[in-house]
Amino acid sequence: MTNPAKRAEELRQQIEHHNYLYYVQAKPEISDREFDRLLEELKKIEQEHPELITLDSPTQRVGGQPIAGFKTVKHQLPMLSIDNSYNPDELREFDARVRRGLNKGEQVTYVVELKIDGVAMSLTYEDGKFTTGATRGDGERGDDVTHNLRTIPEVPLRLRTKKPPQLLEARGEVYMTLAGLGRVNRERIAKNLEPYANPRNTAAGTLKLLDPRQAAERKLRLFTYSLGAVDGISVRTHLESLKLLKDLGFPVNPYVQECSSIDEVITYCLSWNDKRHELPYETDGMVIKVNDLDQQRRLGATSKVPRWIQAYKFEAEQAVTKLAHIELSVGKYGELTPVALFEPPVQLAGTTVSRASLHNAAELARKDIREGDMVVVIKAGEIIPQVIKSLPESRTGSEKVFVFPKTCPVCGAPTIKEEGNTSYNYRCTGLNCPAQLAGKIESFAKRDRMDIEGLGEKLVAQLVESGLVRSVSDLYRLTDEQLLTLDRMGKKSAQNLLKGIQESKDRGLARLLSALSIYGVGESMADQLAQEFHSMEALIGASEERLAKVKDFGPVRAKNTHTFLHSAANQKLISKLRDLGLKMTEEARQAPAASFLAGKTIVVTGTLKSFSRKEIEDLIKELGGKAAGSVSKKTDFVVAGEEAGSKLDKAKELGVKVLTEEEFQKMIGR
């Protein structure tokens, strides 16, 4: 029989090796599925033998309960700022200062790297194991974000060396890719949340999350660019330090150039002005460093910045154009969103931008944006166009302050300004507004909801304009003959659409609830409701007070949901959908860890940090286990806190497995 401890260590080494090939070398040797099989085998061994779980195991990247708050970490060496330059002349001035600070005629070489637009980070390793990750903060102290850094695949949990140094601090930049931000924003938009503006701020916000599981979903990335405090390491140049970082398992950006003169530095920097737009992540400049570490030491630093390093900042991606007109977009809840139309359209980051959302009335007032204004337009985040300001000095007097209409531009129903809303949102009150209906149908058909393939924006518009669909229930009454009357609709496309609509009937209660456009109820909240009530009848029968007790729901969402479910129009809609055969029930899910603790007898002894005795015993029962008061041969585990006494001694005597509080939390995935 294979030794579990030996096999677990073999698997850890294989997983770390393939992680390194994938994220650092970009040369994977196995498929994603083969990698997942290795990880699944290791998880199974650790579940069966929790005493084998180690902090640096690949299975421990995500887990544990959310932290209560952030601790402050004092940096062993200050994380200083970098002086900026914005043109070649300023780079030449930097070169002149460097040469004045060294011996006359001394040879200087520079290393030029991309300046990743992310969050500066310090990662500390003791005896080869990752112990602490901290933000730059004020340069002297930062926030401990170790729990979130452990979720980043590129962060090695232990160094790739058989002789690890006693201390190694790697410094780098945590960032989010443009595609990553796009994925996050698509999920937020599907949940009726505002999209994030740019990758850097989203990465910074993610690092401030208390729950590492939420951070893991954001899929942050890392590049390292220098060493900080070290003990047991000797390198002579910056290039040597980059090679060492890569050899130890850290990702290092591949675009690094050694330059023997400042003219070479300038040429290389300028070459990236346009090329940077081809990268999958954002950069805001280049970083130029003196390569020789002894020269760096002799050049020293001011109180704020090192004298041996300089940043070259790219010009911001922005353009000036005329805001010719503001039109209104009507959303599925009737919300009126002002949209700027540009004349002429502008070129930004290789694409033509002709329009941009102006968000709401408060934003228009705050930025003093008027129809006819000259405005500054940028692209941010997933290349999202934004108007950052108007140029009042360019006004001719013909510009007009935009006034929200008293009636909906689509259906003519009265509009209202939502009371108590500091964003000054205006809303259409029409019950039969085609724009609201189109928005609801598009939302209904989304992949994460009813998943009706082919039912996109253009087709929805045709269905609404033609009168074939006046409610989402009408989708389930469509026929081939009706669909074939629409533009560019062939017989095969019609058949595929009807098949998708028919298949959507079996999606279940959770997905139906998220598809019905209940304000504040997206996929996760809909799932909570479905798991709590299991049927539409039970949900409709619940009071506001009962709904408010659903996990993470709260009184406002409860009121919106209760009002929706008890309005005459929506009760009629639900009744129609039921008669049309839509599934309105959801089966209960088994708790993820219940099967693991089911039937297990567990004894708790000593003082715990995260639980009272009652809390942990209640949790054991919740997860299917038995919380016993004494240790016997039938005891499966003993959870031992501080000052554990005779029960711990008895467990050791009988050979019963003993878990620390931390090991128990990891075992149950909390």
CATH of the domain at 520: 1.10.150.20
User: Percent of the chain at pLDDT above 90?
Assistant: 44
Distances (CA, A) of 420 to 291, 375, 423, 426, 429: 58, 30, 9, 12, 17
Which pair of tokens denotes residue 248? Answer: 């130890």
Q: Residue 381's pLDDT band (boundaries 50, 70, 90)?
A: very low
* Residues 411, 446 within the same domain: no
* Residues 300, 328 within the same domain: no
Helices (H) and strands (E) in the chain, counts: 25, 22
pLDDT value at 595 more than 70: no
Which residue, of 533, 550, 579, is where some domain finishes? 579
Q: Examine residue 608 and state whether it is found in any structural domain, yes or no.
A: yes
Which residue, of 313, 344, 361, is where some domain finishes? 313
Residue 650 is among the residues annotated as catalytic for this protein: no
Query: In whole numbers, what is the pLDDT of the chain averaged over residues?
Result: 86
CATH of the domain at 289: 3.30.470.30
Q: Examine residue 68 and state whether it is found in any structural domain, yes or no.
A: no
Least confident among 334-343, 379-388, 395-404, 544-553:
379-388
* Residues 486, 600 within the same domain: no
pLDDT digits (tens, 9 = 90+) for 79-138: 988 988 888 999 999 999 999 999 998 999 999 999 998 999 999 999 999 999 999 988
Q: Examine residue 423 and state whether it is found in any structural domain, yes or no.
A: no
* Residues 259, 148 within the same domain: yes
* Residues 541, 441 within the same domain: yes
Amino acid identity of 415? T
Q: Residue range 401-426: average pLDDT?
A: 83
Q: For residues 45 and 15, give the distance between their C-alpha atoms in angstroms, rounded to a whole number.
A: 14
CATH of the domain at 628: 3.40.50.10190
Work out whether the CA dihedral 92, 96, 97, 99 comes out positive or negative.
positive
pLDDT digits (tens, 9 = 90+) for 24-39: 666 778 876 787 788 8
Least confident among 267-281, 318-332, 505-519, 647-661:
647-661
Task: Give residue 380's pLDDT.
Answer: 55
Task: Give residue 182's pLDDT.
Answer: 81
Cα angle 318-319-325, degrees, rounded to a multiple of 5: 125
Task: Give residue 423's pLDDT.
Answer: 57
pLDDT digits (tens, 9 = 90+) for 501-554: 999 999 999 999 999 988 888 876 888 899 899 999 999 999 999 999 887 688
Q: Residue range 271-292: average pLDDT?
A: 90
With contact defined as beta carbons under 8 Å apart, do 426 and 396 qualify? no
pLDDT digits (tens, 9 = 90+) for 571-580: 999 999 999 9
* Residues 350, 281 within the same domain: no
Task: Give residue 383's pLDDT.
Answer: 57
User: Percent of the chain at pLDDT above 70?
Assistant: 91
* Residues 194, 245 within the same domain: yes
Identify the residue whose tokens are 């497995």: 657
Least confident among 153-162, 418-427, 497-506:
418-427
* Residues 447, 523 within the same domain: yes
Task: Give residue 268's pLDDT.
Answer: 96
Q: Read off the pTM.
A: 0.51
pLDDT digits (tens, 9 = 90+) for 44-60: 888 888 888 877 777 77
Q: Residue 657's pLDDT band (boundaries 50, 70, 90)?
A: confident
Q: Examine residue 176 and state whether it is found in any structural domain, yes or no.
A: yes
Cα angle 217-221-225, degrees, rounded to a multiple of 5: 160
* Residues 89, 221 within the same domain: yes
Task: Give residue 50's pLDDT.
Answer: 83
Domain total of the chain: 5
Task: Give residue 592's pLDDT.
Answer: 47
Domain that holds residue 406: 318-417
Q: In sequence order, what E strands does 155-271 have?
A: 167-175, 221-231, 256-259
Q: Residue range 436-456: average pLDDT?
A: 89
Distances (CA, A) of 187 to 196, 386, 446, 521: 11, 20, 11, 13
pLDDT top residue among 9 and 295: 295
Q: Examine residue 133 and state whether it is found in any structural domain, yes or no.
A: yes
Which residue, of 556, 579, 602, is where some domain finishes? 579
Q: Examine residue 49 and state whether it is found in any structural domain, yes or no.
A: yes
CB atoms within 10 A of CB 226: 16
Q: For residues 46 and 49, give the distance between their C-alpha atoms in angstroms, rounded to a whole number.
A: 5
With contact defined as beta carbons under 8 Å apart, do 560 and 520 qualify? yes
Q: Examine residue 336 and state whether it is found in any structural domain, yes or no.
A: yes
CATH of the domain at 381: 2.40.50.140
288-326: burial string, b at 16+ Cβ within 10 Å, e else: bbbbbbebbeebeeeeeebbbbbbbebeebebebbbeeb
Q: Examine residue 587 and state whether it is found in any structural domain, yes or no.
A: no
With contact defined as beta carbons under 8 Å apart, do 277 and 350 qualify? yes
* Residues 219, 271 within the same domain: yes
* Residues 380, 441 within the same domain: no
Q: Residue 593's pLDDT band (boundaries 50, 70, 90)?
A: very low
CATH of the domain at 40: 1.10.287.610
Active-site residue among 115, 379, 440, 666?
A: 115
* Residues 291, 350 within the same domain: no
